[in-house]
A and B are shown apart, each in its own frame.
Chain A
Amino acid sequence: MLNATPDTILPEDKLNIHSIESFGTYDGPGIRFVVFLQGCPFQCLYCANPDTMRFEDGKSYSMQRIVEEAEHMKSYFANGGGITISGGEPCCQAKQLITLFKNLQSKGIHTCLDTNGNVMNHYVEEMLEYTDLVLLDVKHIDSAIHKKITGKPNEKTLAFAHYLEEHQKPFWLRYVLVPELSDDPKHLHQLGQYFQSFKQVQKLEIQPYHKLGVHKWELLGKEYPLKDTPENTSQQLEAAKEIFEQYLDEVVIN
């Protein structure tokens, strides 16, 4: 657990955000108002938003304003849409998000959390009470490879999944399919088997690997670690889908 996560240093009514995307079509059901929070304990090799990693950056943003903007979007939420808090790692600001999600839910707005599941504490538990849907990013089923990708092992993420299952919190699994890094059929089978019996897993989304974030690494003066990795072919995506479908009811390529 990080000591100086923003939820202990931010004012009660503010979030430390990276950016806002009012027309999200990839982060949860329907049209999403996506708030990207700043700061992440993971250091994923293929991160598309490396500029969201540092907790020190970002800007303080009023939660009241987020609620107002989300309310203005209600007419666009007709097909199951709502707000998605992404990042960065949103659980690092769970204390603030309790208030935000409670407020949004009371206004009839669907709340969704996009997390890597690495942070769990009593704030997160309370926040989940007001969360309608969790998008749980499982970077890898093998803990050693998970550590190679993210810098941390995967036990906490898997424990997070069990927590959701036990507390009957519906969630979607999200899996970034990176050629040569996370597309070994053996591991895909393992992951499918692991979650086969989970009743709360509504679907698995395969996230195709893309390089749209590479320029951000360059802007940060960092070397992109996977610069020789190619993007997926559609055959690779379909093959992964077929494997996951042996275990899970709904698998989509996002």
Chain B
Amino acid sequence: MSIGVENNIKEFVKGTWNDTVDVRNFVLKNIAPYDGNADFLTRPTDKTNLLFDICKKAVKEEIENKGVRSIDPSIISRIASHQAGYISKEHEVIVGLQTDELLKRAIKPYGGVKIVEKACQEHGITLDPKVKDVFDNYVKSHNEGVFDAYTTEIRKFRSLGFLTGLPDNYARGRIIGDYRRLALYGTEMLIQAKLDDLEGLVGPMNDSRIRLREEVNEQIKALKEIKVLGDAYGLDLSRPATNAQEAVQWVYMAYLAAVKEQDGAAMSLGNVSSFIDIYINRDMEAGVLTEGEAQELIDQFVMKLRMVRHLRMGAYNDIFAGDPTWVTEAIGGLSLAGGHKVTKTSFRFLQTLYNLGPSPEPNMTVLWSAELPKGFKEFCAQVSVDTSSIQYENDDLMRQTRNADDYGIACCVSFQEIGKHIQFFGARCNLAKTLLLAINGGKCENTGTQVIEGVQALKSDVLNYKEVMDNFRFTMKEMARVYVDSMNIIHYMHDKYYYERAQMAFVDTDPKVNVAYGIAGLSIVADSLSAIKHAKVTAIRDENGLAVDFKIEGEFPYYGNDDDRVDQMAVDITSHFNKQLAAYETYKNAEPTMSILTITSNVVYGKKTGATPDGRAKGVAFAPGANPMHGRDTHGAIASLNSVAKLDYNDALDGISNTMSMVPETLGANQAARVLNLTTILDGYFGRGAHHLNVNVLNRELLMDAMEHPENYPQLTIRVSGYAVNFVRLSRDQQLEVLSRSFFEKI
């Protein structure tokens, strides 16, 4: 392949990227790492301010109108389905909306038409009868396919809350296209590369090769439609971008195509900032772009990303609260060769949190390394203290474990090598309920339904650690088996009925795949086992023999205090269950991985779980992700971090989420101390091999006020397990849960 990038300014440094699709090579050859501080950054331009005022007004209307501003109930959303849409055309340097109007949500019935119909109904809109007719009578959806294949057993696990949030009635998301490819190559060259791949896909036509040939042709169609999408906005996407404005615009168009086709739970952006920086840098050196204009490009790009919306049912909000889209952008990190990848545009992305105010989207994710330049570390910490809108992930750990340096984060914590590797999202199973199955002879603690056969009844109501553990290992094994079955069905059907052709057009033709299982309730399980082992726990059973409560006598160590007696239990259970999951065959031979991540679903998981042997009452929210249970980590923030840091990333390769909330005074006496202490915490935590940290710096009074007066806090951002959400969009239960979470206040 020969790349004929029109280059009237300055040649980029050549490399393998000229001969094959290889954005990483382009970035490494041309990146201009920046070691300085944030002094060069600029405030938003008038155009940006004007546009964002319109956006803010529209968001206000959206909130007032039960969270949805408007819906297009007729046009099935496809890459080029809608007319061009603008916020205010003459002020936009980056154009493109999902529909023809700001915050108008589109229908994507391929996931399941009933869900779309219900979502419309909830907002007083009737789904176009033609659409309903097509999907009722002519076209099959992902949801129908899955339920045609689900077993009775899977349905039982699902309906009783042992498996929750499965992507069987909405798009699975998580797949990250290498959206930079559109800017570097244009559709014409990308189509040619896919055609070349297709030429090689011959030989015995077995199941996987047939499927792959069909998929590649779908990708080529998608690329052709992306060209049409560009035409609607007057952009020639068939060719590579030639300057900074086009580079940003092209990347955004590739992403826009993805979010027009799919409503995945999380649809990340990748790691585009330092790629874009190369174009900005070249234009600035040529004197055709100022710093203000560069910032304007990024501000307006980010503004567009903040306006991405999907049409959801109200029930979806119970699992993923706050109408999230997880447009995750990974920033920073080091290359395998050792140099850092921080550029001025890394700063510019973070600067949007000042220029446009704090926001959960795009989900700014800093790939932290001990070797990042000081100026960048301090700016990140400062932005965290000021906005609480950054999450941090351990680049040293991921780069070394995966031997990769061009990666993004899908959703909150999931590693993906950009363009080389995708994942199948698996939501999560409830490990605390799995423990209760071990105590209740395999019966659901709420309904008494026999969920798992063959679980021995416990000999005594005084729980014996060994006896409970023997049963628990058995219920975990069964849970893993059913979980894997459900994942295989879901992803088989998703590929068949709701294939992500727009994203996959920007991914290598036969990428690595991992299946991303997840667990909820780790801290509950660890504390429960600790109680059973170190104290005396007696099950109090109802007339049906179900343990409805537990009497605890004596003290026991809690997870979250850097105490190996219990922390090691969390480590061992994680390792054990991960091995159980890995024991089964997977669809497309996907590599099994597991996460410890709940996002906001820890509230609903708690609601569905009976009383547990750690003393947690029925219905009480779980701690999020891998967090210790709120109020139990009595040795303060670092001991709590150190407990979580013990969990081995190799046992949870899909990520280990942890959230730290602090009032500013706790972090330090003044801004300089807070910035220094936060960078020190991050160095310290990741230095102990931890994987991920959300940092919330806020005060409780502010949150209390936001609960009473949500209208005054449209942009209040807090971070909850792996993610930032708009606090006012959380349900009251979720808000209370956040408030009860450990705030490490000064005594």
Bound: A30/B642 CA distance, A: 18
- Interchain CB contact (< 8 A) of A25 among B562, B669, B687: B669
Chain A residues contacting B667 (CB-CB under 8 Å) are: 25
Bound: A213/B639 CA distance, A: 23
Asked if A22 meets B637 with Cβ closer than 8 Å, knowing A72-B688, A75-B683, the reply is: yes
- Interchain CB contact (< 8 A) of B677 among A25, A75, A212: A25
- Chain B contacts with A in 529-576, Cβ cutoff 8 A: 562
Shortest beta-carbon distance from A82 to chain B in Å: 12
- Interchain CB contact (< 8 A) of A31 among B640, B677, B744: B677
Could you tell me if A78 and B746 are in contact, using CB atoms closer than 8 angstroms? no
Chain B residues contacting A33 (CB-CB under 8 Å) are: 638
Output the nearest chain B residue to A24 by Cβ-Cβ distance.
Answer: B636
Chain B residues contacting A22 (CB-CB under 8 Å) are: 562, 635-640, 642
A42 within 8 Å of B (CB atoms): no
Total residues of chain A contacting the partner, CB 8 A: 27
Could you tell me if B635 and A20 are in contact, using CB atoms closer than 8 angstroms? yes
Chain A residues contacting B635 (CB-CB under 8 Å) are: 20-22, 69
Contact with A along B632-647 (1 / 0, CB 8 A): 0011111110100000
Bound: A23/B743 CA distance, A: 12
Chain B residues contacting A30 (CB-CB under 8 Å) are: 680
> How would you classify the secondary structure of chain B's contact residues: helix, strand, loop or mixed?
helix
Contact with A along B128-139 (1 / 0, CB 8 A): 000000000000
Shortest beta-carbon distance from A137 to chain B in Å: 16
B668 within 8 Å of A (CB atoms): yes
Could you tell me if A73 and B642 are in contact, using CB atoms closer than 8 angstroms? yes
Contact with A along B663-695 (1 / 0, CB 8 A): 000111100010011001101110110000000
Contact with B along A19-44 (1 / 0, CB 8 A): 11111111000110100000000000
Shortest beta-carbon distance from A76 to chain B in Å: 3
Chain B residues contacting A76 (CB-CB under 8 Å) are: 638, 680-681, 683-685
Could you tell me if B636 and A20 are in contact, using CB atoms closer than 8 angstroms? yes
Total residues of chain B contacting the partner, CB 8 A: 26
A79 within 8 Å of B (CB atoms): yes
B702 within 8 Å of A (CB atoms): no
Shortest beta-carbon distance from B142 to chain A in Å: 46
Could you tell me if B680 and A69 are in contact, using CB atoms closer than 8 angstroms? no
A6 within 8 Å of B (CB atoms): no
- Interchain CB contact (< 8 A) of B676 among A72, A79, A212, A213: A79
Output the nearest chain B residue to A80 by Cβ-Cβ distance.
Answer: B680
Chain B residues contacting A88 (CB-CB under 8 Å) are: none
Output the nearest chain B residue to A253 by Cβ-Cβ distance.
Answer: B669
A81 within 8 Å of B (CB atoms): yes
Asked if A25 meets B684 with Cβ closer than 8 Å, knowing A49-B747, A72-B562, the reply is: no
Shortest beta-carbon distance from B139 to chain A in Å: 56
Chain A residues contacting B676 (CB-CB under 8 Å) are: 79
Shortest beta-carbon distance from B678 to chain A in Å: 10
Could you tell me if A79 and B680 are in contact, using CB atoms closer than 8 angstroms? yes
Output the nearest chain A residue to B677 by Cβ-Cβ distance.
Answer: A25
A246 within 8 Å of B (CB atoms): no
Chain B residues contacting A213 (CB-CB under 8 Å) are: 747
Output the nearest chain B residue to A210 by Cβ-Cβ distance.
Answer: B746
Chain A residues contacting B673 (CB-CB under 8 Å) are: 25
Could you tell me if A75 and B639 are in contact, using CB atoms closer than 8 angstroms? no
Output the nearest chain A residue to B684 by Cβ-Cβ distance.
Answer: A76
Could you tell me if A25 and B642 are in contact, using CB atoms closer than 8 angstroms? no
Could you tell me if A31 and B638 are in contact, using CB atoms closer than 8 angstroms? yes
Output the nearest chain A residue to B688 by Cβ-Cβ distance.
Answer: A75
Bound: A19/B561 CA distance, A: 12
- Chain A contacts with B in 175-201, Cβ cutoff 8 A: none
Bound: A162/B1 CA distance, A: 80
Asked if A75 meets B637 with Cβ closer than 8 Å, knowing A212-B746, A253-B669, the reply is: no
Contact with A along B379-405 (1 / 0, CB 8 A): 000000000000000000000000000
Could you tell me if A23 and B668 are in contact, using CB atoms closer than 8 angstroms? no
A254 within 8 Å of B (CB atoms): yes
Chain B residues contacting A49 (CB-CB under 8 Å) are: 747
Output the nearest chain B residue to A65 by Cβ-Cβ distance.
Answer: B563
- Interchain CB contact (< 8 A) of B681 among A31, A68, A212, A254: A31
Bound: A253/B669 CA distance, A: 8
A145 within 8 Å of B (CB atoms): no
Contact with B along A74-102 (1 / 0, CB 8 A): 01111101000000000000000000000
Shortest beta-carbon distance from A53 to chain B in Å: 15
Chain B residues contacting A25 (CB-CB under 8 Å) are: 666-669, 673, 677
- Chain A contacts with B in 35-69, Cβ cutoff 8 A: 48-49, 68-69
Bound: A105/B286 CA distance, A: 57
Chain B residues contacting A20 (CB-CB under 8 Å) are: 634-636, 639
Bound: A68/B639 CA distance, A: 11
Output the nearest chain A residue to B639 by Cβ-Cβ distance.
Answer: A22
Chain B residues contacting A31 (CB-CB under 8 Å) are: 638, 677, 680-681, 684
Could you tell me if A75 and B684 are in contact, using CB atoms closer than 8 angstroms? yes
Chain B residues contacting A78 (CB-CB under 8 Å) are: 680, 683-684
Could you tell me if A69 and B666 are in contact, using CB atoms closer than 8 angstroms? no
Shortest beta-carbon distance from A219 to chain B in Å: 13
Interface centre among A21, A33, A77, A254 (most CB of B within 10 A): A21
Output the nearest chain A residue to B646 by Cβ-Cβ distance.
Answer: A72
Shortest beta-carbon distance from B466 to chain A in Å: 26
Bound: A1/B303 CA distance, A: 68
Could you tell me if B680 and A81 are in contact, using CB atoms closer than 8 angstroms? yes
Chain B residues contacting A21 (CB-CB under 8 Å) are: 635-636, 747
Q: Which B residues have a C-beta under 8 Å from some C-beta of A?
A: 562, 634-640, 642, 666-669, 673, 676-677, 680-681, 683-685, 687-688, 744, 746-747
Q: Which 10 pairs of residues, A with B, have the shortest CB-CB distance?
A: A76-B684, A75-B687, A22-B638, A23-B637, A22-B636, A22-B639, A75-B684, A21-B636, A23-B636, A20-B635
29 cross-chain CB contacts under 8 A: A21-B636, A22-B635, A22-B636, A22-B638, A23-B636, A23-B638, A24-B636, A25-B666, A26-B746, A31-B638, A31-B681, A48-B747, A69-B639, A72-B562, A72-B642, A73-B638, A75-B684, A75-B687, A76-B680, A76-B684, A76-B685, A77-B684, A78-B683, A78-B684, A79-B680, A81-B680, A212-B747, A253-B669, A254-B669
A22-B636, A25-B666, A213-B747 given; name 14 further pairs at CB < 8 Å: A19-B634, A20-B634, A20-B636, A22-B637, A25-B677, A26-B669, A31-B681, A49-B747, A69-B635, A69-B642, A75-B684, A75-B687, A75-B688, A77-B684
